Amino acid sequence: MKTNTTKLGLKENWKQFTILVIVNAFVGGMIGMERTIIPKFAEIEFGIASKTAILSFIIAFGIAKAITNYFTGKLANRFGRKNLLLFGWILAIPIPFILIYAESWNWVIFANILLGISQGLTWSSTVVMKIDLVGEKDRGLAMGLNEFAGYFAVGLVAFLSGYIAQKYGITPYPFYLGIGISIIGFLLTLFFVKDTRVFVHQENTTNTTEKLDNIFLETTFKNKTLSAITQAGLVNNLNDGMIWGLLPIVLLSLNYDSQNIGIITAIYPTVWGFGQLVTGKMSDVYSKKKMLFWGMLLQGIAILFIPFAEQFYQLAAISAFLGLGTALVYPTFLSAIAQATNPHQRAESIGTFRLWRDLGYAIGAIISGITADIFGINYAIILIGVITIVSSLIIEIRMPKDTL
């Protein structure tokens, strides 16, 4: 008789877990390639000055990634996590070439639709696979390590692309990073990553969490815990979409060069990334509700200070506090969703959460772009800061005290 050798846990599966952490760093690197330079790329290469038009690349990215997240969650059990991860990397490979040879802004939009689909497939797959491997005990730590790898890579590549743009020009050299990242990510996945569906069946033998009647509706609206987390996820990426699109423009207006813009914009995702090494494990021990409340509140307050800062150290400090606030909530979102759902419904519930969370990119870009064009950038930033603080209050009021 064949014995079951499948064991849940971080220590038990550390080799495969480490490979997935490395893969997710390459996933994050694809975002970092654009993080610093695209607004300046839009103005220099295509003469685009409208804030709404510049932010259109984030709108395209956010909608594509959000929809893909949802279907990745639904299809993960049917086609396998590894297959979806591989397909995501295949879509990533042409992106830097499209940006290098772009003849119009529409090419950039198309590249970011591809990037959104690719990120939805790759990042969602690595999240679900790590949760599959570790079981309940170290779920927060697993998410902290996953998001650390991804967002540290975002920050590192954002800095590198800004440095390269300053030294060699806005194109094509910064996009060469993306070529290397996408090819290595694909090869790592192809040869070293193993599918993790078997771990879901193993965990389900001991899990007692009741199944949801309608995963989409419960995660979005009905379940107080899941819906409170979902709205905060949306607002978190709503403000991130604003920071991604408008912060480089603010820094350009203050006469910062590409290298210093790269440093300031990189501090935020770097602190976000490193912070999750601590906050991920914290979410296994401390109240997830309190971590979500304070994280969203800190983000909102930091954003409200941006219009009143001009000095490098002030903007660097704001970027750091924004990263800290995001670090408190990001791994906590995912570990809380995983804890509140049945293992067989987890991938789809996480997919629904990530659908709404990443629609925040598009909603944030639309709101902040239109507000900036009509009333000015400072008003757009203040509006997003207020929305973020309101989100923290929704967590405090709606999320039950006796859960998570």
Neighbours of 260 (CB within 10 A): 17
Task: Please check whether residue 63 lies inside any domain of the structure.
Answer: yes
Task: Please check whether residue 85 lies inside any domain of the structure.
Answer: yes
Task: Please check whether residue 2 lies inside any domain of the structure.
Answer: no
- Whichever domain contains 295, its CATH number is 1.20.1250.20
Name the pTM for this structure.
0.83
* pLDDT string in tens for the chain (404-residue length): 344 567 888 888 999 999 999 999 999 999 998 877 887 888 888 888 777 777 888 889 989 999 999 999 888 888 899 999 999 999 999 999 999 999 999 999 999 999 999 999 999 999 989 988 987 778 889 988 988 898 889 889 988 998 999 899 998 999 999 999 999 999 999 999 999 888 877 766 666 677 888 999 999 999 999 999 999 999 999 999 888 888 988 998 999 988 888 889 889 988 988 899 999 999 998 999 999 999 999 999 999 999 999 999 999 999 999 999 999 999 999 889 988 888 888 889 999 999 999 899 889 888 998 999 999 999 999 999 999 999 999 999 999 875 56
Task: Please check whether residue 205 lies inside any domain of the structure.
Answer: no
Task: Please check whether residue 145 lies inside any domain of the structure.
Answer: yes
- Number of structural domains the chain divides into: 1
* Model pLDDT, residue 5: 65
Task: Please check whether residue 6 lies inside any domain of the structure.
Answer: no
* Model pLDDT, residue 207: 66
Phi-psi category of 16—alpha, beta or left, where left has phi over 0 and alpha has psi -120 to 50? alpha
* Model pLDDT, residue 216: 94
For residue 24, give its domain range.
13-194+213-398
Task: Please check whether residue 99 lies inside any domain of the structure.
Answer: yes
Task: Please check whether residue 251 lies inside any domain of the structure.
Answer: yes
Instruction: Give whole-number Cα distances, 18 to 22, 51, 87, 196, 286, in Å.
Output: 6, 40, 21, 14, 25
Which residue, among 303, 233, 257, has the nearest Cα to 37 in the 3D structure? 257
